[in-house]
Structure 1
Amino acid sequence: MPPHNLFFLLESKQIKALIFDLDGVITQTARVHAHAWKRMFDDYLRQRGQREGKVYEPLSIATDYRRYIDGIPRYDGVRNFLLSRSISLPEGTPTDAPGKETVAGLGNLKNSYFHELLQQGGVEVYSDTVAFIKVMRQRGYRTAVISASKNCQAILAAAGLEALFEVRVDGVLAAELRLKGKPDPAIFLEAARRLEVEPAEAAVFEDALAGVEAGKAGGFALVVGVDRTGQAEELSEHGADVVLQTIPNPTMKNPNPNQVQKQDGKNLPSALHNIKELLQGKTPAVFLDYDGCLTHIVKDPDKAILSEGMRSTLQQLAEVCPVAVVSGRDRANVEKLVQLKNLYYAGSHGFDISGPNNMHTEPGGAAAAIPALDKAQAELNERLKEVEGALVERKRYAIAVHYRNVAEDQVSQVLEVANDVLSKYKELKPGPGKKVLELKPNLDWHKGKAVYWLLEELHLNKPGIIPLYIGDDLTDEDAFAALQGQGVSILVGEHDEQTAAGYRLESVEEVQVFLEALTHQLKKE
């Protein structure tokens, strides 16, 4: 499998050290912490409300915990949350008895509840992070763990993870050194100092909003937001350079171009007449391009409207197997065009992915290319404004220069301008297509990697599942090549080059007939 773009970023930024938050990134004790906080605060607010003859709103894990408590020192969390309820208490001291009506007393009670819950349920770890750390240590990366919790060492010991980290900066050490809590970067900077690296040589892995703010404020080379709870957009807004829902498998590799078999698309067997053969008795995970596959290619991209018949076909197929639309269009645009909530959407060639249950992530790291895209867009608009039929279509993570409607004798001019603008920005690279030249982030990421990412994320890499990709464009060839020997690739129509696909469908209409037949076959089994 191809590597996630994370590894490209680590190498390109010459990162030497990796600093991991504990809860929510390495261990799954964040939920235990959250429930301990809720039990403590809800009891306290209820008792206080009875004394005062008023009703206090209980703690909400979804909002209050993230906003006031998650990722910051315990007593700061007590103080922050109480302030949100207009309550002020004496500070007390760390030796206050659990439950005493002070900031320290309530914090100590929460800690008692936490240990009680921990003993009942043990310590669960995120296996993806642990596997990642082990491989990266073998590759020579230095590693540290940070935590606002004073229970960090006990949790690592219980999980058998102490040996994975050269440095531990936790709540105990932070108190001794009087380090400020997140969003102040002090705890991360101390970890970097003890690892003997500069912030510009280290990456931070965080799941808390305050944590990604701290990583950004500390000037670290890369801040990776780890989204375990459906807050991808918030993590990006607070400073994450990349947001992942799972840490990728470091052993994934790109397919060797010399081993990819290609042939003339006209010679491919029909997928429509070979459904049983291509499924091999397995359940498919279906990936489809949009333009030229689900809808006909039209002169105006905004008029590529999905038919109600195709929409109904997709909806029924998604009821019996996973279905994803993988497009060069913006994710929000293709999602709006398809209008189905039970599908997954990978827009901008996979840089922006969403799906059911509020899934949303931007795994390719393309945000860093936005300034270059903005400048390139302005120059392209200016230099091509007089060329009739030329269309500069800005997407979130790409610019598509369409020349389908340009007079034949002016096409070379459009391509010359586009390539000249492209040459000015090392952050961008060309992406060929049918009557279009795209300017895309110069990153090791494409539709094939988006398919692999979804297979990993949705736990579809198993013997009973076969990935099936349908596309018509040159950009779909990356997915065709990635799936050779592991899945089924179907070319719709033809393009000007040889293809890595194994089957063919003649048209959009045949795609719909094929999907309907596929649905019928799956319902019979």
Structure 2
Amino acid sequence: MSQPHLFDLLELRNIKALIFDLDGVITQTARVHANAWKRMFDAYLLQRGQREDKVYEPLSIATDYRRYIDGIPRYDGVRNFLASRGITLPEGTPEDAPGKETVAGLGNLKNTYFQELLQEGGVDVYPDTVAFAGEMRRRGLRTAVISASKNCQSILAAAGLEKLFEVRVDGIVSAELGLKGKPAPDIFLEAVRRLQVKPEQAAVFEDALAGVEAGKAGGFALVVGLDRTSEANELKEHGADVVLQKIPSHTMKNTPQNQVRKKDGITLPSALNQIEALLQGKTPAVFLDYDGCLTPIVKDPDKAILSDSMRHTLRQLAEVCPVAVVSGRDRANVEKLVQLDNLYYAGSHGFDISGPDNMHTEPGGAAAAIPALDKAQTELNERLHQVQGALVERKRYAIAVHYRNVADDQVDDVLKVAQDVLSKYKELKPGPGKKILELKPNLDWHKGKAVHWLLEELELNKPGIIPMYIGDDLTDEDAFAALQGQGISILVGEHDEETAADFRLESVDEVQEFLAALTKYLKK
């Protein structure tokens, strides 16, 4: 199985079939296609320009290919790109010789170049998709592959993937049936028809903007955008429900509660002066909560400002090992507070993650809960605005009802209101914290799973790497539990319940002292 949030969504939406685009999702032939298009168009534009004594701008793979060509039928791609250069050609017929000055002739020449490049370089696949599709087949879900290319079958055969998909709807089938190309949903609808399921029982996996548009237009239960080219925002804007940079190939399971060892936090041994023993010769991947760990807990969350000295400590640590801040705050908010571009940031308890090299993804699938959060926020504001000290803090994927500054005799009233509002929305669930009650998306996703996701995404699941999580809150207990037996968990201060952590640090000052010592040790 793949990412747990994805599996949860497949179950929650009663998904029975999965439809995968070929290029960019299953196989890595988009580069080959793009080079074939560029070779064909650049030569044609140069020749035409010389004939007309005019200069035509060559095809840009970074912009033109994605905008006018990627994911749509070949002849449509010819027509779209030529229109961008103010050129109109006769349609011709599919039998036109490659290179004839017609839409079909240029499209046929592109296909000739593609076949040549394919023979030269072979076919690479995306192992994450292949592993996921195979696991889903074993779990009983049906699978189909779609493609605008007429070369789909030969590409699958070259990659050894023909048996992975029960149904294939490609450029040949589209031509036979007169199916419209993306962003029309025809090719996806034909796939589910052949799989004998309804669109509302199927999920679409696409990397092209036109593809996610088509999936949304077809009324599919789930449209997953695969961000292979740093276009996460564009994929969302065009209709993707979830955007992933890749589909992890191993299951991240919750640790059963009856297997989690817990103890009184006060009895835990200190992590100070034990760095060599903790690391056991391995390099740490360090995960840190923000409030109560990097900064002291304060009455006003907006005043939890990171000190310059702590920022300096984090910067130096991130130079010698991976460092991520995992917070209940919005990702953009904690990123702004920390102000370091060599760290990873997991906000909203891991629903929103960013990092160096323009990394940004939202792996928890929480976007579907936003309408419920909006309505709950409105009602909470209306019902609690007169309670002195009560604070309704809206985050992108959560609402925190703070009662730290509420009079003791009114705390129960605040909690009753929050729980009453929560009971109205099946999309939401409660989340505990220090003097807060959170309303969170009702999905099996938390800080522990975010840590596992980052470990896999950053390829840190290696024998020489040991994950280390430092936090102070009840929400950090999920991470402590997730790392039992495979990492180091450190509780800062104490909270009102037993903890799954292994070690303890007394305060934010001790956290900084520990991190500085860790950096010094690693630099040796």
- Partner residue, 2:255: 255
Q: Give the Å deviation of 1:2.
A: 9.3
- Partner residue, 1:62: 62
Name the SS of the counterpart of 1:513 in structure 2.
helix
In structure 1, how many angstroms separate the alpha carbons of the residues matched to 2:288 and 2:62?
34
Residue-by-residue CA offset, 1:139-158 (whole Å, 9 max, x unaligned):
11111000011110000000
In structure 2, how many angstroms separate the alpha carbons of the residues matched to 1:292 and 1:212?
41
- Partner residue, 1:128: 128
Note the residue ranges of structure 2 that are not aligned, 5 or more in a row: none
* Kept in 2: contact 1:2–1:254 (CA 8 A): no
In structure 2, how many angstroms separate the alpha carbons of the residues matched to 1:202 and 1:462?
35
- Partner residue, 1:316: 316
Q: Give the Å deviation of 1:99.
A: 2.1
* Kept in 1: contact 2:2–2:132 (CA 8 A): no
In structure 2, how many angstroms separate the alpha carbons of the residues matched to 1:339 and 1:498?
33
- Partner residue, 1:119: 119
Q: What is the identity, as a one-letter code, of the residue corresponding to 2:313?
A: T
In structure 1, how many angstroms separate the alpha carbons of the residues matched to 2:317 and 2:99?
55
Residue pairs, 1:485-496, within 5 angstroms: 485-496=485-496
Aligned sequence identity (%): 83
- Partner residue, 1:139: 139
Residue-by-residue CA offset, 1:162-187 (whole Å, 9 max, x unaligned):
00111000001101111000010000
58 and 339 in structure 1: CA distance in 2 versus 1, 3 angstrom threshold: farther
Q: Give the Å deviation of 1:308.
A: 1.3
In structure 2, how many angstroms separate the alpha carbons of the residues matched to 1:2 and 1:300?
39
- Partner residue, 2:18: 18
Q: Which segments of structure 1 move beyond 4 Å, counting only runs of 4 or more? A: none
Name the SS of the counterpart of 1:363 in structure 2.
coil
In structure 1, how many angstroms separate the alpha carbons of the residues matched to 2:201 and 2:241?
15
- Partner residue, 1:452: 452
Deviates more, 1:276-285 or 1:188-197: 276-285
Name the SS of the counterpart of 2:252 in structure 1.
coil
- Partner residue, 1:439: 439
In structure 1, how many angstroms separate the alpha carbons of the residues matched to 2:279 and 2:47?
62
- Partner residue, 2:110: 110
Q: Give the Å deviation of 1:303.
A: 1.2
Name the SS of the counterpart of 1:87 in structure 2.
coil
Residue-by-residue CA offset, 1:110-140 (whole Å, 9 max, x unaligned):
2122112211211111111111111111111
* Kept in 1: contact 2:2–2:247 (CA 8 A): no
Q: Give the Å deviation of 1:54.
A: 3.0
- Partner residue, 1:343: 343
Name the SS of the counterpart of 1:261 in structure 2.
coil
- Partner residue, 1:520: 520
Q: Give the Å deviation of 1:296.
A: 1.2
Q: Give the Å deviation of 1:384.
A: 0.5
- Partner residue, 1:302: 302
* Kept in 2: contact 1:328–1:347 (CA 8 A): yes
In structure 2, how many angstroms separate the alpha carbons of the residues matched to 1:105 and 1:444?
52
RMSD of aligned Cα (Å):
1.3
Q: Give the Å deviation of 1:250.
A: 5.2
Q: What is the identity, as a one-letter code, of the residue corresponding to 1:348?
A: S
* Kept in 2: contact 1:135–1:250 (CA 8 A): no
- Partner residue, 2:156: 156
Q: What is the identity, as a one-letter code, of the residue corresponding to 1:44?
A: Y
Name the SS of the counterpart of 2:223 in structure 1.
strand
- Partner residue, 1:284: 284
In structure 2, how many angstroms separate the alpha carbons of the residues matched to 1:306 and 1:65?
44
Q: Give the Å deviation of 1:13.
A: 1.2
In structure 1, how many angstroms separate the alpha carbons of the residues matched to 2:427 and 2:232?
24
Residue pairs, 1:95-106, within 5 angstroms: 95-106=95-106
- Partner residue, 2:187: 187
* Kept in 1: contact 2:299–2:404 (CA 8 A): yes
Name the SS of the counterpart of 2:394 in structure 1.
strand
Q: What is the identity, as a one-letter code, of the residue corresponding to 2:395?
A: K
> TM-score by structure 1 length?
0.98
* Kept in 1: contact 2:223–2:240 (CA 8 A): yes
> TM-score by structure 2 length?
0.98
Name the SS of the counterpart of 2:99 in structure 1.
coil
Matched, 1:481 2:491: no
- Partner residue, 1:360: 360
Q: What is the identity, as a one-letter code, of the residue corresponding to 2:141?
A: Y
- Partner residue, 2:31: 31
Q: What is the identity, as a one-letter code, of the residue corresponding to 2:378?
A: A
- Partner residue, 2:379: 379
Aligned residues: 524
